[in-house]
Structures are given as structure tokens and as C-alpha cells.
Amino acid sequence: MTFVRYHVRHETLYEYDQVVGESHHLLRLTPRTLPWQRNLEHHLAIAPEPSARRTFLDSFGNWITAIHYTADHDYLKITSEFWVELRDRPKPSADIAKVAWEAVRDSLRYRADRKFSPEHLEASAFRFVSPNVPIDSRYAAYARDAFHPGRALVEAADALMRQIHRDFSFDPSATETFTPVEEAFQARRGVCQDFSHIMIACLRSIGLAARYMSGYILTHPPEGKARLVGADATHAWVAVFVPGFGWLELDPTNALWPGLEHITLGWGRDFSDITPMRGVLLGGGEHEPEIAVTVVPEKDFASLYASGGTYLEELSR
């Protein structure tokens, strides 16, 4: 079986305008262990040293590191580094791939006398409105271009992914982290987070279960250019529930099925469930994080880091 290994470094630096007296942060930076993904080694460096630190699992099975500061501090630097091994993801069998989307929709509908299987019960959490994903007839109407009557779910979901990729333009300046889905949908512009939220809204609006996937993707430098430390970013994609198979992953930003270049951190109902870092603090004034992400294949690791220092270390000099 084919496998690849990657080293990932995700650096976040906050330099506060004012001293922070107390703060709490939740970090979702630990990659999940999955049948096709093995977490070989993970280190999480935090400076200054927090007053308290603990790890636990959230309701979706994602690892969270919670940190608490009670002493004054004027900066926060978090570096997550890990090695991960990826193998080919399974694909739905020919029989499962033929199941009509309406049959899947109907299997997820609540009925007073119906007892859900464990897989359907899990999927039901991803069927409804969530903080950043609405359900609306506009998204259902858009999805109908792909979800024809009687069409197989797998084929229709793939068609919707390609439809979004065709109709929407990737534009980092068009949206911000908390731009409502409605705005990105109207503008037909956005980034991977927007495309994923829109696709999830479309799927849920026709009665299907879909979840938000968070992680990283290997990027390829332009021909003739060297790979750069800190030039990558976090990535988002979608998974739709397919009974008898599980969760079929689809990347509308790139119009492809995730494979050996998609590294999974975790999943939730939308971005709000799986933000890499969020927190509450007293003080701090105005502050914006500096973020640098590097995803590098094992074969390129030694040459990429031969010069020593990291992106944020260079930035702070």
C-alpha cells in the first residue's frame, strides 16, 4: 500500500499592544489518528509557560489542549510540530456508490417509530443548522443542479463539488474569518473555509449530513521555485455521510477527493467547532496574529530546514 510521510510546523505569534493579565485558550492542533493517517510524533511548544495546561477530547473526538495564564504577559507564541504518515483513503464500493441520494436523505429523516443505527445517529449531528452554516431554500436550489432525481449520492456530491469549484472564485481578499456564508454565496468569491461552508449548506439544505474537515494540504511551489518555510496555510474541505461506507471527503476548493496530500486535524459541524486556536483574554489591546504553516514531504525535510531558524524567528529579528 502506498504511503507518504510529512512534517508539519504551524507557528502562531501574538505580540500584544498592552499587557495581558489573564487569558484562556483552546488549541486544536493535534492531528487525528485515522485508519489512513498515523500520528507518528507531535510536539506543542508554548511560550511563555502557561499557569495551567490540560488535554481532553471534545464531543467529536478531536484533541484539545487548554491553557490558562494568570500572570502578566505581553506575547504568546505557539508552535505545533508533528510527523504524520498517510495511506490511501478507502473508496465506496460499486454497490454503495450506486445508492440514490433520496434514499440516503430518507434514511436520515426522523420518525417517531424509527431506531437509528449507530452510524446514522452519529451522522444526525451534522444534518442541521450550526453556528456558521444555515439551511435555506437558496442553497437547496443551487444543489439541485447536481442532485437530479434518482442520481447516486456519490456521483451527485462529486458534481456539486465541481460545480462550486467552477462557479466560485478563490479570493483571499473577499472574505474574513467570520464572514457570513450568505455574503460569500452572493459574491461567488472566498477561500476554502467559505467554499466548504457553502457546500455543507447545500448538502444539509436537501436533507443530507455533512461535516467540516480541518487540516492541511501539501502545496507545490511554481515550477523552478524553491519550497518556502512558512508559505503554507491551514485548509478546509467537506465530508458527506454515505451509509455503509462512512464519510466521503470532497475538496471543493480544488475539485478533488482528498488523498495523500490532505492531512486531517479534525472535524466539526463548521469552522467554529474546529478552530485551530481561540481564546478569551483580559487586556492585550489591538493585536493580530502572525501565522506561518509549513508542510514538507519527508524527502525534502533536511534540505528545507538546513539553514536553521523558523519563519517567525526571522520575522521577529
Which pLDDT score, from 0 to 100, does residue 307 have?
Answer: 55
Burial of 77 (0-12, 13-18, 19+ CB in 10 A): middle
Q: Domain range spanning residue 254?
A: 94-273
**240-261 pLDDT per residue, tens:** 999 999 999 999 999 999 999 9
CB 179 within 8 A of CB 190: yes
**189-213 pLDDT per residue, tens:** 999 999 999 999 999 999 999 999 9
Q: In terms of domains, do 203 and 171 share one?
A: yes
Q: What is the DSSP letter of 133?
A: B
Which pLDDT score, from 0 to 100, does residue 226 have?
Answer: 75
Burial of 197 (0-12, 13-18, 19+ CB in 10 A): buried
Q: In terms of domains, do 39 and 106 share one?
A: no
Integer Cα distance of 117 and 222 in angstroms: 48
Nine-digit cell at 115? 431506531
Q: Which of 273, 291, 306 is the last residue of a domain?
A: 273
CB 79 within 8 A of CB 24: no
Strand partners, 12: 78, 291
Residues 6 or more apart whose CB falls under 8 angstroms from that of 21 comprise: 72, 282, 283
Q: In terms of domains, do 78 and 121 share one?
A: no
Domain count of the fold of the chain: 2
Residues of the chain with pLDDT under 70: 1, 228, 307-317
| Neighbouring C-alpha atoms within 13 Å toward the C-beta of 230 | 14
CATH number of the domain at 73, please: 2.60.40.2250
Q: In terms of domains, do 213 and 151 share one?
A: yes
CATH number of the domain at 229, please: 3.10.620.30
Q: In terms of domains, do 42 and 185 share one?
A: no
Cis preceding linkage at 48, omega within 30: yes
Which pLDDT score, from 0 to 100, does residue 316 have?
Answer: 45
Q: In terms of domains, do 232 and 244 share one?
A: yes
Q: In terms of domains, do 115 and 243 share one?
A: yes
Q: Which residue has the cell 426522523?
A: 110
* AA letter at 158: D
Q: In terms of domains, do 43 and 123 share one?
A: no
Query: CA angle, corner 69, sides to 66 and 73, nearest 5?
Result: 130
Q: In terms of domains, do 234 and 292 share one?
A: no
Q: In terms of domains, do 228 and 199 share one?
A: yes
Q: In terms of domains, do 249 and 129 share one?
A: yes
Q: In terms of domains, do 282 and 196 share one?
A: no
